[in-house]
Amino acid sequence: MSQLESYPTRSWNRNSDRGKALVIASFLASALLAAGALILTSGDGAQAARELVTRFSSLLFVCSLLAPPLALLVRARPLSALALMSGNLRLSFVATFVFSLACTLMPAAVGGETLSLSAVLYVGLNGLMLLVMLFPANRVATRRMGAASWRAIQHLATAYFWLAFLVSSLVHVARQDDSLVWYAFMLTLLVAALGAIVAAKFSREAVEG
């Protein structure tokens, strides 16, 4: 289990059939959530769709972070199986977050509205980081760069989204808006993920030492 993160293809290709099904199911779930928001929301349907899909994608992101360290800390078959799927969970996050970016672009693409500069920067920066997270899927590139370079790239993209979700949750909690319960829940999950990662690291060092 301690070798789960040693090379990209180990986590991206295990349980490939179930992994592909997970990615497809996540994308379809995003489409259903977006469609429901567009149909049921009386106000800005595109905004509601983006927020709903972003929340779903953030849950997938946290699951991809929590699974490997929890599998090290708690010896249970379901957690071990989920840890082996962490790469597919991350790919599901990428797919669903791309869908949320598409919802951001929807008013401009469908209604001809002008996107604000902040929206352009949001889509551009997040799109770039999503491409970085997709990098391990390219076996040729990862072999040429090596495992150390791959890990550095993955840590950069992961830290970016962790911080982005954390800051967003903190801002909404501080404002005490209508979504306070959701963002407090996300804040707890993000802190728990960081704690699990640190605890797993110390546990692994203690075993190896």
pLDDT tens-digit profile of 26-35?
A: 999 999 999 9
Q: Residue 45 has what pLDDT?
A: 78
Q: Which has the higher per-residue pLDDT, 108 or 22? A: 22
Residue 138: φ, ψ to 5°: -90, 100
Indicate yes or no: pTM above 0.85: no
Residues whose CB is less than 8 angstroms from the CB of residue 55 and which lie 6 or more positions away in sequence, other chains included: 182, 186
Average pLDDT over residues 12-29: 75
> 18 pLDDT exceeds 50?
yes
Owner of token pair 């690291």: 201
Residues 69-123: pLDDT tens digits? 998 888 888 888 888 888 889 889 999 999 999 988 887 777 677 778 888 899 9
Specify the pLDDT at position 72: 87
